[in-house]
Amino acid sequence: MRAVVTRPGAGQAWVADIPEPTLENADDVVVEMLRVGVCGTDRHVMARARADVRGLPPDADYLVIGHEAVGRVMRIGSSVNTLKVGDIVVPTVRRGCGECEACAVGQADLCFTGKIRERGIVGLHGFLSERIVDKAENLIRVPDELAQVAPLVESLCTPEKALRRIANARAHLPVGEPLHGVQRALVTGAGPIALLAVMALRLRGIPTWALARSPDDSLAARLIERAGATYVPLGRNLTVLGSVNANHDDWLAAVRDLSEMRRAFPGAVEALITHTFEMGDVDVAFERVPGQIKAVIDIASA
C-alpha cells in the first residue's frame, strides 16, 4: 500500500510502500482515504526533529504524515453499529493520554499531562495513505456532498472550539444568541482556519472584520467580502483569544457549519481549496506557493 512518509527532521517526504491496515479489534474500521489536506504542521514535522522519542510510532522508523482527511468506510469490526460500509468519514486527530481527568471524559484537547498523541504529527501514523484503520469512535460521519471539501473539517473545528469558549465566557450575561450578545468580531490572518472562522461568525450574523497581510485584491480578501465581512490589510496591537485543537463536539459542529457555509456562501468553501495534487506530486505538494489557501492531495484520483 502506498503512503507519504517522513522522518521528523528529514526536511522532506516521500512515497513508500507500507503494510496494509487490518481489522484487529471489534471496534476497528478500515477506511479508504479520498483526500488529505496539506498543512503547515506537516512542514514543521518534516523540518524539525522532536526533542523526545515520541515523534515516531512505536517500532517504526518513519511517520505517515497528513492529518486533515476524508475517506470512505471499507470494512467494519463486529461491534461497530454507528457506521456502515460506504459512509464518508473524517478521522479526528488527537488521542488522549489515558491518565488524566480531561482525557478520561473525551477532552483530550485539554490534556493535563501533555502525553497526547496525534495522528500524522506525533506518535501515530497519519492519514496520507491509501487506507487507514481507526476506532469507530474516532471517525465523524459527514454528508456525501461534503466529500470534496471535508479535509476542511479539521481546520474548522478549531474556530468552533473558539466560538464555544467565547459563548462559555459570556454565558453569565442575560443576553441570548448569538454567542450571548457578541456584537462584533475580529479575526486575524487569512489562512484556511481564519477564513473558516470568518464564515462561522457570519453564519451567526455577527459583524466581522478580518485583519491580515494579504493584499486587498487577493482571493482571501475576496472570500472574506463574499461572506459579508470586512477585510483590513494591515496590522495593529491586539489582544487575541487563542484556540488550538478541539473535542468531539467541536468536530460535529464543524461538519454542521461546513454544510451551512456551502449553502450560505455559494462557491466560497470550494474556493478555499486552491491547489490539488496527486500522491506522486509529493516533491511539490508541500511547497508553499503564492496565492495558496489550502492544498489537498487527491488519493482517490490515483
Q: In this structure, are residues 36 and 151 in contact, taking their beta carbons and an 8 Å threshold?
A: yes
Question: Are 84 and 106 found together in one domain?
Answer: yes
H/E element, 131:
strand 131-135
**C-alpha Rg value of the chain to the nearest Å:** 19
Fill in the amino acid letter for 42: D
221: CATH: 3.40.50.720
Count of the separate structural domains present in the chain: 2
Domain holding 185, by residue range, is: 155-264
Q: What are phi and psi of 97, to 5 degrees?
A: -75, -20
Question: Are 12 and 146 found together in one domain?
Answer: yes
CA distances 90 to 27, 98, 149, 257, Å, are 16, 23, 11, 15
Instruction: Count CB-CB contacts under 10 A for residue 239.
Output: 5
Instruction: Give the integer Cα–Cα distance in Å for 240 and 195.
Output: 16
Instruction: Count CB-CB contacts under 10 A for residue 255.
Output: 20
Q: In this structure, are residues 210 and 185 in contact, taking their beta carbons and an 8 Å threshold?
A: no
Beta bridge partners of 123: 118
40: CATH: 3.90.180.10
- pLDDT tens for the chain, 302 residues long, are 999 999 878 889 999 999 999 999 999 999 999 999 999 999 999 987 655 445 789 889 999 999 999 999 999 999 999 999 999 999 999 999 999 999 999 999 999 999 999 999 999 999 999 999 999 999 999 999 999 999 999 999 999 999 999 998 888 888 888 899 999 999 999 999 999 999 999 999 999 999 998 899 999 999 999 999 999 987 755 555 566 688 999 999 999 999 999 999 999 999 999 999 999 999 999 998 888 999 999 998 76
